[in-house]
Amino acid sequence: MLEGSTILITGGTGSFGQRCAWELLKKYNPGKVIIFSRDELKQSEMAAKPCFTSKALRFFLGDVRDRNRLERAMAGVDYVIHAAALKQVPAAEYNPHEFIKTNINGAMNVVDAALSANVRQVIALSTDKAVNPVNLYGATKLCSDKIFIAGNSYSGKQETRFSVVRYGNVVGSRGSVIPIFLKQKEKGKITVTKPEMTRFLITIGNGVKFALQSLKDMTGGEIFIPKMPSCSLGDLAEAIAPDCKMEIVGLRPGEKLHEALVPTDEAMYTVEQKERFIIHPSLPFWEYKPKKHRGKKCKEGFGYDSFSNPERLTIQEIKELISGFQESKLV
């Protein structure tokens, strides 16, 4: 499907975007991969990496806040992977206008530009923070999810379709807890909000593979959720820095003790498959035929959260996960 095609990645210089571009160039023989982002320095640093010496790679400066620039970038594009977002929870609380402009208005611009350019398919990245959000970042991503699903209503007779991928914390992504713990370890003390706090974990490689698989499988309107392990923050700290002093600082504003990926009030629209859940749209104002997405229908009241998740990582498994992350930092 992707061979010879043109793929645009918004936020393409981020952790996900770089790994996704590398995966596409290495395995799928695309005609063109366009990196769309607003930071010229990050683009030049990415272009200088040996793994990105490909004639198929293009760099396009622009911001998802600018619809006209997006429309120009999407001319002739077949597929869009939307990974651009502001995501730091404390920064969102202090700068709500900026997060709304990027995460919500930016989502609207991506949808409108994709429709104008007659892009075939768009897959947008979401987060567990969008489920029953308690902070502004999560609220903006919830709005973004709704915008992309509703985008299918505006396609008319053209083929443009939109779907969403939702997963938990990406191991080692910029600003995530693992790099912070590794840095604190050097000073002999790490700060932990609450040891019993739980989070879903997924590697960057698995996140990219799941997004690309979802792009292949989507018919438009689905939210794809991978089954993934979770762990407690206390076990994570123990795995990274067993000999360090642990300082308990308590929950920060806007944080949950546990995160969910399938909320109980969406169970009626959710099917379970071997390696994933699929939430079907509750109000499909377009012709929706999910022929590829049969599975076990979830029971009323079902929820998928990091606390009750049956796949809980042991300390040894966390160590192996972190070791794999440190060894595979490619890009």
Residue 55 CB-density burial (10 A; 0-12 exposed, 13-18 middle, 19+ buried): exposed
What are the residues whose beta carbons fall under 8 Å from the beta carbon of 129, sequence distance 6 or more? 89, 135, 137, 138, 141, 259
Give the phi and the psi of residue 278 in degrees, each rounded to 5: -130, 120
129 given a catalytic annotation? yes
Angle, to 10 degrees, between the axis of helix 233-240 and the axis of helix 315-327? 60
Beta bridge partners of 201: 169
Alpha-carbon distance of 309 to 316, in angstroms, equals 18
| Dist. CA 266–CA 263, nearest whole Å | 6
The residue from 26, 42, 101, 129 that is catalytic is 129
Q: Which pairing describes strands 32-37 and 57-61: parallel, antiparallel, or unpaired?
A: parallel
Residues with a catalytic annotation lie at 129
